[in-house]
Every structure is written in C-alpha cells, then in structure tokens.
Structure 1
Amino acid sequence: MLINILLLLGGFIALIYGANALVDAASSLAARYGVPSIVIGLTIVAFGTSAPELVVNVFAATTGSTDMVLGNVLGSNIFNVLGILGISALIYPLTVKSNTTWIEIPLSLLAAICVLVVASDTMLDGTASNFISRSDGIILLLFFLVFLVYNLMVAKSGGADEEITTKDYSTGKAVLFIILGLAGLVVGGRLIVTSAVSIAEVIGLSERVIGLTVVSIGTSLPELATSIIAVRKKNVDIAIGNVVGSNIFNIFLILGISGSIVPLGVNPDSFFDIIINILTGLLLFIFVFTGRGRKVERWEGAVFVIGYVAYVTYLII
C-alpha cells in the first residue's frame, strides 16, 4: 500500500513536471520560428495544461480501466469549479470581464450536457447497456474543433489580449526538453493508472471513485496553481477563464480522444456524477449571470467549497 502511494505521488510529480517542460520547450521553439503569441497560448499552452488528464485517460482506456476514464474527466471538471473556483473566490471575488468568457461559460454547461446525451444509450436508443462509442468520441472531437476555430477567430479579431511569455531556449535544448517532457508524461501517466488501480483494490474503493477524487485532483493541480497565482495578482479573469477553458477541453478533447481509442462502458453509478457535473456548470452560470455584476462572490465561493466537500464525502461513504 505504501509503495503504491509513493508511486502515485511520484507519478503526479513526473506528470506535472513533464507537462511544464513540454509546454516551455514547445512554446520556446514555436516563438523561435515566428508563431504568434496568441496561437501559442491557444494551442501549446492550452493543450499542455490538459496533458495530465489526457495521458492518464489514454493509459486507463488502453488498459481497460474505463471507469477511471470517465471518472477522471468528470472529477476534474467538478473539482475545477467547486474546488478551484471556490478556493479562488474565497481569496478574492472573481469578476468576469472578458466577453469570450461570457460565451465559454454557457459552452462549458453545454459540454456537460453532451456527456449525458452520448452516455444515455439505454434511455435514448433502448440498448442493453450504456457506452461512449467511437462515433460519440469523434462527435466530441468535432465540437472541440469548432471551439478551437472559435478561439482562433477571437484571437485574430483582437478579442484576446493576453501576452504569452516564453522561455528562450536554443533549438537543441528545446528539442531535448520536449523529449524529456514527453517521457515524464508517459512515465507519470503509467505510474498513476497502475498505482491508483492497486490502491483501489486494497482499500475497497472502485476505480470510478479513485478517478473522481485522487486522480482527478492530482491531474488538476496545474489549473489550481495557475488560478491561485492569478487571483493573488488580482488577475481574476484569467482564473475563471482558465477553469472554464479546461472544462471544455476535458470533455470535447480528452473524453473525445479516449472514446475514439476504445468504446467506454458507462457505469450506472456514473450518471450521478454526470448530473453533478451539469448542476455544477449550472450553478456557475447562475452565480456569474445573476446578481450584481458578472462575478462570483466570496459567499458563493464558500458554497462551491462546501458542495465539493459534501460530494467527496458522499462518494467515500
């Protein structure tokens, strides 16, 4: 048990440092060859922050741990809103300034509803079991492609003004760090999946619950760190945009790729998590678009945190 816990922690460290090294090196290489800062931010940096969830899900899908695949995506999205935005709002109220975020918050709610639709085969089609098929995964990827094109169009029209700071690596050093970053992602992802499955077997929790809690929180640590740093610097729009964008990536890109690799059986218990994910998105929508101004107040952040603690407690009990 202790060895598996240490392997799990080592996997998270390798995964996160691998993702950071990959993003820094790829961004430096892109900047060196004249790729615009906005494009780097919308592609390399955005993909990099979702790399931990993607790598873990690919390993889980290919090894047959399909409960962990859906659990990691749903758990990450629930933690992103209730945990990360909740903690961030407690530090400083989150004001939504960007027009793009006003569109992305409803889009993240739509993405949550899409999971319910693609997973409800028994109810919608009368099949014997529920699963996210390869065709469902491809549809989610097409949604992601539309989202990516939308972001690029907003960037080209001047709707996104955030400047991306890149490292100044030589070409050789950048290539080396890309290789090391990819190695960290692969090793870390493998360690997390194998050790998490072993821990679940030892303590008697399902792969679904481990994916919804330990794995999803661990893979969401980059978003947590980014949001807290942004809030402490009073860059509150970055904090909320970071979380909302990550939730859209998790469903359309990561779940889309996972379903395209192998059909994912949907555990009946997972529908509870799917509904919680929808309610979480709906609650964020209500908090932002009602009341005074476009903001998440401290008391609303407290509601998020209390809700997350209650949810995790329910899962474990």
Structure 2
Amino acid sequence: MSQESGVAIAVLVLIGCFVAFFYLTRLFVSGLGSLAKRFNVPESVVGASVAAMVSSAPEMGTSIFSVVEGHPDIGIGTIIGSAIFNISLLIAISLWVKKCVLDEKVLKRDGLYYLLVVAVTIAAIMDGVLTRWEALTWFLLYVVYFIWLFKDAIAGKFVPKEEFKYVPTSRAIAYTCIGIVGIALSADIMVNSAVFVTGSLGLSEALFSLIIIAIATSIPDLFVSVEAARNGMGSLAVSNAVGSNIFDILVGIGLPFSFVAATPVYGNIGLSAIYLLVSVFVFLGIIMFRKSLGKKEACVLAAVYLSYLFIVILC
C-alpha cells in the first residue's frame, strides 16, 4: 500500500470516528440520564451534570488516549482548540440561527468562572510544562464548580440542561455501556489515525488537533447549542458552550494529565491558550453590554475564530 493510500484511509477513519462520536454521544446521554433518574437524582441536577459530561465525552476520550498513546499534544491541543471554537464560532452559529436573550447568571457564574479557568490555564502552561500538581489543581477547581452548579440546580436557579429521551433501565445500562466503550474505542483509533496522518504529511500534531480534531469533537456541543437557540433558549445555547469548556479544561486535561509527572507544552498550544483568553474577553465584553444577542454579535465572534485560524496557521 502506498503512503498516499494509507493517508487517505486514515482520513476516512478519522471521519468515521467523528461521525461515531455524534451518535455514541446521543446514546450515552440517553442512557446516563435515564439511569440517574432511576436512582431518583433530581431532574435539574441530571440535566446540569449530563449536559457537560456527555457532550464533552469525545474531548475527554481524546485527552485520555493521547496520554496513553504517548502523544499529549493531541489531547491538550484538541481541548484548547475546542474551547476557542466553542466560545466563538459555536456561539456565533447559534446566534445566527436565532437571536438570544441571555440570563444574567450566564455572566455572573459561568462567564466569570470560565475567565478564572482560562487565567489558571495560561499561568500553568506558559512556562512550557504542565505538571501533575497543576493538573490536579484544575480537577479540584471543577469539583468546586460542580458543587456550585449542584446547589443552583437544587435551588431552582438556571443551569444548562440537556434534553434527552428516558428509556427503561435495562436499555439505559446498555446505552451507557455502548456509549462509554464506543467513545473510548473511537478516541483511541482517532488518536492513532491522527498520529499517522500528521507523521505521513509532516504536519504538527498540535496544529492538527487545535483545528481539525477540535472542531470535529465539538460537533455534539454545536448541535445542543443550535437546537437550544432554535427553540428560543438562548441562555442554554451560550451556557452549554461555556460549561462544556469548563469541563473540558478542568477535567479533560486535569484528570488524565494528573497521572503524568510533567508534560511539555509547545509553541502553538501556548499561543492558542493566550488567544483563548482574548476570545473570552471579547465574549464577556459582548454579554456585559448586550443581554440580547443577534447576528451582529455573531459576526464579531466568527471574526474572532477566523482571526485565530489565520494566526495559528501562520505561526
């Protein structure tokens, strides 16, 4: 088999993994949500926790297997790239679908906590190394955020809620197992395929993951937010993107990388982390002064993402 044929097959495998992520995520959310209801977990808490955990499962799986396979750049790059995509282009697409009126909680709780998360991320990786203790700190920060979210859910305050169809317990167990195993296998195959493609074409693993894999693994989040916007739930559309980013960074990087003593972080990823901070400031600046967001704001956020692509590719 020629190298060109091998690359073509690997690209098709990558596309297959991206499609699998979408359908497996839907199974996973239905199964896990139904199991939680079976054990009498309050529906508001189920919605808040399932929304972040399940829509972020592709990024989480990619991060775990990037560590297992010895290619951490792919895991970190995927999550940082996905975070930039979510906070800019994903929200832009949602706003383009339908004008959104935001709940003030999006700014006070999710937006400002996310700003803290990004600041901590930059502080941790700007020295070029992510240590085990830094990763553990990120994970603990998510525990704090989850407790906060849990209390808000119990109190009946706004939390991002994933809509899903409840199924019988036996089917819920099957869906959950299929979702976990399927996403894990897809993530492992995707990491190995990405390594093959980048190695064969002489591409940077970090750059490939920051753009291609990051966008692909964000598709479940995109569908949730677009559907929420279409149904007039603007706060859910925005809060889903922000909450998913918080989970991705604090748990998606924090948990698997806490098992590694130290991980080097290279140029493109450090630059992307700084640009992530810029995108967060733009996002917060918009929602601070405009509680009703539409196509004008969508164009600004889309421009933020396009400028990021231009900068990261050139550098």
2:71 alignment partner in structure 1: 65
Q: Distance in 2 between matches of 1:228 and 1:100?
A: 17
Q: Distance in 2 between matches of 1:163 and 1:28?
A: 14
Q: Which structure 1 segments of 5+ residues have no match?
A: 122-129
Contact preservation (8 Å) 2:25, 2:55: yes
1:269 is paired with a residue whose SS is helix
2:167 is paired with a residue whose SS is coil
1:178 matches 2:184: no
2:298 alignment partner in structure 1: 301
Q: Distance in 1 between matches of 2:158 and 2:312?
A: 39
- Ranges of 4+ aligned residues in structure 1 off by more than 4 Å: 161-166
Contact preservation (8 Å) 1:101, 1:241: no
2:58 alignment partner in structure 1: 52
**Aligned Cα root-mean-square deviation (Å):** 1.8
1:271 alignment partner in structure 2: 270
Contact preservation (8 Å) 1:31, 1:166: no
CA deviation after TM superposition for structure 1 residue 157, in Å: 1.5
1:211 is paired with a residue whose SS is helix
Question: Which deviates further from its counterpart, 43-52 or 107-116?
Answer: 43-52
CA deviation after TM superposition for structure 1 residue 166, in Å: 4.5
CA deviation after TM superposition for structure 1 residue 295, in Å: 3.5
1:26 matches 2:24: no
1:311 matches 2:308: yes
1:175 is paired with a residue whose SS is helix
Q: Which amino acid aligns with 2:211?
A: T
CA deviation after TM superposition for structure 1 residue 139, in Å: 0.5
1:139 alignment partner in structure 2: 137
In 2 relative to 1, CA 143–29 (structure 1 residues): closer, same or farther, beyond 3 Å? same
1:202 alignment partner in structure 2: 200
1:261 is paired with a residue whose SS is coil
2:220 alignment partner in structure 1: 222
Q: Which amino acid aligns with 1:281?
A: V
Q: Distance in 2 between matches of 1:158 and 1:304?
A: 31
Contact preservation (8 Å) 1:14, 1:187: no
1:127 alignment partner in structure 2: none
1:264 is paired with a residue whose SS is strand
CA deviation after TM superposition for structure 1 residue 204, in Å: 2.5
CA deviation after TM superposition for structure 1 residue 260, in Å: 0.8
Q: Distance in 2 between matches of 1:163 and 1:211?
A: 28
Normalising by the residue count of structure 2, what TM-score does the alignment of the two structures yield? Answer: 0.92
Normalising by the residue count of structure 1, what TM-score does the alignment of the two structures yield? Answer: 0.91
Contact preservation (8 Å) 1:74, 1:212: yes
Contact preservation (8 Å) 2:58, 2:187: yes
Contact preservation (8 Å) 2:119, 2:277: yes
- Cα deviation, 1:131-169, whole Å, max 9, x if unaligned, reads 111111110011000000000111122213777654342
Q: Distance in 2 between matches of 1:109 and 1:147?
A: 13
CA deviation after TM superposition for structure 1 residue 193, in Å: 0.7
Q: Distance in 1 between matches of 2:80 and 2:163?
A: 31
Q: Which amino acid aligns with 1:81?
A: I
Question: Which deviates further from its counterpart, 91-100 or 76-85?
Answer: 91-100
- Cα deviation, 1:226-281, whole Å, max 9, x if unaligned, reads 11111122211110111111111111111111321223211133221111000000
Q: Which amino acid aligns with 2:286?
A: F
